[in-house]
Structure 1
Amino acid sequence: MQRSMFGLPHARGCFALGGRRTGSEFAGAATAAAAALSRMPASWKSASLRWRAAVCAGAFPNWVSRPLSSEKASARDGHKFKVAVIGSGPAGCYAVAALTKQIPKTQLEVDVLDELPTPFGLVRYGIAPDHQEAKAVVNQFAQSLSQENVRFRGNVKVGVHVSVAELRSMYHAVIAAAGAQSERKIDVPGESLHGVLSARKFVAWYNGHPHFTKLHVPLDHRTTDVVVVGNGNVAIDVARILLKTPEELARSDIAQHAWEKLSQCSVKRVHLVGRRGLAQASWSAKELREIVQKLPNVRVKVNPDEIKLSDVDLEELEMEENRAKKRCTGIVQQAAAEQESAAAEEKRLFEGEQQTVKELHLRFLRTPVLFLPKDDDANSVGWTQFARNHLAGPPGKQRAHITTNMPAGCETIPSTLVLVSVGYKVGTFDGLPVDTASGVIHNVKGRVKNQTGEFLPGLYVTGWMKRGSSGIVGSNRWDAEETIRCVIEDLASAPLDYKAGGAALDSLLDIRGVRLVDFDSWRRIDTRESAAGAAMGKPRQKLTSLEELLHTASTDQHA
């Protein structure tokens, strides 16, 4: 057999290989592939080269290395590489894209499971409804999910309808990409009062997530002040939705029930409060600029004493990784400098008009220490008490410490709604090993390991379950690519045993009475929502009940 400069067989030699390999032959071929890879320059050791090297060295049967006709592929169907991806949000879709890019479709089958009848996860239920440009990525995701060797399996809850253990028995690889399903708590007395909500639930509510449509959100004519705890992009999103006019929101794909409630409320002030200082805020310049500079009916209020920068802050902002934070710092400093002249201009513009000017208060170095009930309702929040903080530590590692002697010296802010936005974490997920400290699945580069540090063969993780709730939608791409490199490396170093894959899954779900939603069924939902939205002058009018989603998915729109 002819070999390349690194000891790999040429393509002609690959396709000349015949027959199934015995165990000893497989072991020898795999060793040859590994040896060849070790001679390759580090820059050449991509996942695709590893896959091709293993194929060409004979680590897989001949049918893997050579395209087959559809008839032969069907006859050998059990030997295709079969993958289950749990979650159809950005992490899951980028994983599918990476897999299908690296492995020929004749050699791969992918099933994508989601507990909802609708795909796209965070893009549909997390991105703010007034950020339609950020949702355009669903066109790319739809292409991935509509490939002929990829199947969407909606309305399937892993851990209820099928277990991770069962999936591992059906597929060569199982990739968990279901996101962070829980929020971090702040453990403050009174956190259980009505009206203290996680920002995660509030976002799901106004985005029409069917599990949160009946969430009690105290927004009415008595709601004038809202406190948002946190200084990240999610905190900015919820503040912006609260500050926008009903007319502005009507042009978005916000859920109808949320639009109606926001239209009737009387929010005048939103207090965005962070524990650390201006230099440590984790929002992006784009999000911050939009809420500070581009909402004409909103006046920004900043306390100059709270945005003073220490020498440590200045040194921290000069660090390479903090260039974005430096831009954000400048945006807030500019708003603070202009707030008096802006207030005078707004008074002139709106004098004699009925238009309401709302206020966004950017607060720093404050820690919530107590949620107090309303005077007339002992079960609902009415006030939030904050202690003052100071920062201590070296640049990049400053931490907030309470300065105020409580309760004397604390500041109390009226708040009939409090939204807590201090991060997300992975809760329990059908026995997957969760690192409780970091709130992610135990893993190394996407390979899942148990509590004792042993890797669990065929089990992988990507997205927020892998790295935590950080980054933007696009951050999931490189994250997924790293995980898929590991999947392919592991595939290249082990025998490809028979797995039943999707046939076994569908049979099991049928026995258990699960109403599957495939991608064509999702298109029925999409068509109905888009048509209803077009009639109202908005991108889509979302269906927000599980029953209505399932009914639409199973109904022929042209019947």
Structure 2
Amino acid sequence: MRHIAIIGSGPAGYYSAEAAQKKFGENVAVDIIDRLPVPFGLIRTGVAPDHQSIKAVSRRYEKTNSGDNVRFVGNVTVGVDVSVAELQEFYDAVVLATGAPEDRVLDIPGSDLAGVIGSAAFVGWYNGHPDFRDLDPPLDARSVAIIGNGNVALDVARILAKTEGEFAGSDIVGHALDGLKQSAVERITFLGRRGPHQIAMTPKELGELGHLERARPVVEAEDFPDIGDDAMLEPGMRKSVNYLRSFQIAAADAEHKPIEIAFDFFAMPIEIQGEGRVEKLIIERTELDKDLRSIGTGELYELECQLVISCIGYRTPPIEGVPYEHGRGRFANSDGRILPGLYCVGWARRGPSGTIGTNKPDGAAVVEMINEDISENSRKPGRAGLDSLLASRGVETVTFRDWKKIEEAEVARAREGSPREKFTDIADMIAARD
């Protein structure tokens, strides 16, 4: 019997547990430990609430929890309730699947002004993450600047621009829906340092912008390279660029839509200004060098805005005693190995890159490493050791069966047409299981 602890219950954690089940059968006991009382990580609190088809992957993870050899241990904070070193005493292998839940720092003057928000916080707010339930973003803003040209930036803009009716079938939390109904937003501007051929926006998500009821995407024709250059792009990127080109054509036909979503390419924010709150961005025009890197031209201009949302990437928070690469915002590792008996997967290993499905081969690879490194004949106590320690410290754990009760309560309190109304307070989550 091998005893494995996985820290984090998002896709990387569950794919690792699934791989362990397939590899070791009944000769493994896996504990999936999470600081929240609810599982599934970014599936619950990161994926956009209007992308329910993506969230459906959680049903696969539920099957992983159906056997006795995989257990969810919620409401346990590693580094507070139990240390990594203590877990290594109990388990043959400890796998860090903590993801990258923190924003990369927007390191420009004025980034500490009121009205400057990171995407992790804003996405967490509308998805009901307990850490951000009280964010209260200033939606009285008429003009919003979104820094970044990736899918998270698209999610943020789409959520800001949708009508109440367009959220039908989503699980956006009530406090966010109420706030958005009062929104004064008239203009949303994407700011990207490079051009249309370098965006990180995928076709499906980009195409959604063209079907919003009250918002029209706008792209300036002069930002595009010659249309013949599109042939050099890989198919997915070419499709994304085709959408951008179609936006410049369709913009005039959609002038009746009151919200404008503008793409400002070759734009590098260098300062945020305002008296106590964001009032404008100072932006430097950029160009591409021969290696397609953006470089400043010295040309400056201003963008009036009252809300700035930074979507420039994420980082994995350090854990005491675990080697860490500060420059890359991830744990120091060699293909997933950190130290003997200590591993990492997903964004905690790679940094914030790839899709949800990218975590599946990551999970399989780490289980192969564990098979190579760890003997089948364990002498460690595994979950019995953890349970004893947590009980001695008065830590109240949440099981997967408890989670199913929490989920039932969320479904029961849903508004009409919504799959659930999430609890956003940890105490309420725990109370709902009783």
- TM > 0.5 between the two? yes
The match for 1:467 among 342, 345, 350 is 350
CA distance in 2, matches of 1:468, 1:97: 22
Note if 1:270 corresponds to 2:206.
no
Mean Cα displacement is larger for which, 151-160 or 474-483?
A: 474-483
5 Å matches for 1:50-129? 80-105=1-26, 107-129=27-49
Residue type of the alignment partner of 2:32: V
**SS of the counterpart of 1:536?**
coil
Residue by residue over 1:310-353, the C-alpha shift from the partner in whole angstroms, topping out at 9 and shown as x without a partner, is 99xx38x626xx4322221111012213322x23xx54xxxxxx
Q: Which residue of 2 aligns with 1:324?
A: 236
Q: Which residue of 1 aligns with 2:272?
A: 371
Q: Which residue of 1 aligns with 2:310?
A: 420
Residue type of the alignment partner of 1:415: C
5 Å matches for 1:87-236? 87-105=8-26, 107-220=27-140, 223-236=141-154
Change in CA separation of 1:205 and 1:457 when aligned onto 2, cut-off 3 Å: same
Please list every run of 5 or more consecutive structure 2 residues that lacks an aligned counterpart in the other structure. Answer: none
How far the C-alpha of 1:410 sits from its partner, in A, is 1.9
Note if 1:336 corresponds to 2:248.
yes
Aligned length: 434
**SS of the counterpart of 2:216?**
strand
Q: Which residue of 2 aligns with 1:260?
A: 178
Residue type of the alignment partner of 2:12: A
**SS of the counterpart of 1:130?**
coil
Residue type of the alignment partner of 1:522: W
How far the C-alpha of 1:250 sits from its partner, in A, is 4.8
Q: Which residue of 2 aligns with 1:435?
A: 325
Structure 1 ranges of 4+ moved more than 3 A: 494-497
The match for 2:155 among 226, 237, 251 is 237
CA distance in 1, matches of 2:423, 2:66: 22
Please list every run of 5 or more consecutive structure 1 residues that lacks an aligned counterpart in the other structure. Answer: 1-79, 348-355, 449-455
CA distance in 2, matches of 1:520, 1:372: 50
Rg larger for: 1
Residue by residue over 1:86-108, the C-alpha shift from the partner in whole angstroms, topping out at 9 and shown as x without a partner, is 00000000001111011111x11
Give the number of the structure whose residues are more often helix, by fraction.
1
**SS of the counterpart of 2:19?**
helix
- Cα pair 1:368 1:386 within 8 Å, conserved: yes
5 Å matches for 1:397-412? 398-404=292-298, 409-412=299-302
CA distance in 2, matches of 1:108, 1:479: 19
How far the C-alpha of 1:251 sits from its partner, in A, is 3.5
**SS of the counterpart of 1:412?**
strand
**SS of the counterpart of 2:80?**
coil
The match for 2:219 among 269, 284, 302 is 302
Q: Which residue of 2 aligns with 1:485?
A: 368
Residue type of the alignment partner of 1:367: M
Asked which structure has the greater RCO (Cα within 8 Å, sep 6+), the reply is: 2
Residue type of the alignment partner of 1:88: S
Q: Which residue of 2 aligns with 1:5?
A: none
Note if 1:519 corresponds to 2:397.
no
- Cα pair 1:426 1:434 within 8 Å, conserved: no
Mean Cα displacement is larger for which, 114-123 or 265-274?
A: 265-274
Change in CA separation of 1:515 and 1:304 when aligned onto 2, cut-off 3 Å: same
CA distance in 1, matches of 2:162, 2:148: 19
**SS of the counterpart of 1:115?**
coil
Residue type of the alignment partner of 1:95: S
CA distance in 2, matches of 1:286, 1:177: 27
- Cα pair 1:289 1:331 within 8 Å, conserved: yes
How far the C-alpha of 1:247 sits from its partner, in A, is 2.0
CA distance in 2, matches of 1:389, 1:210: 39
Residue type of the alignment partner of 2:244: V
TM-score (norm 2): 0.97
How far the C-alpha of 1:309 sits from its partner, in A, is 4.8
How far the C-alpha of 1:482 sits from its partner, in A, is 1.6
Q: Which residue of 2 aligns with 1:552?
A: 432
CA distance in 1, matches of 2:318, 2:95: 16
Q: Which residue of 2 aligns with 1:289?
A: 207
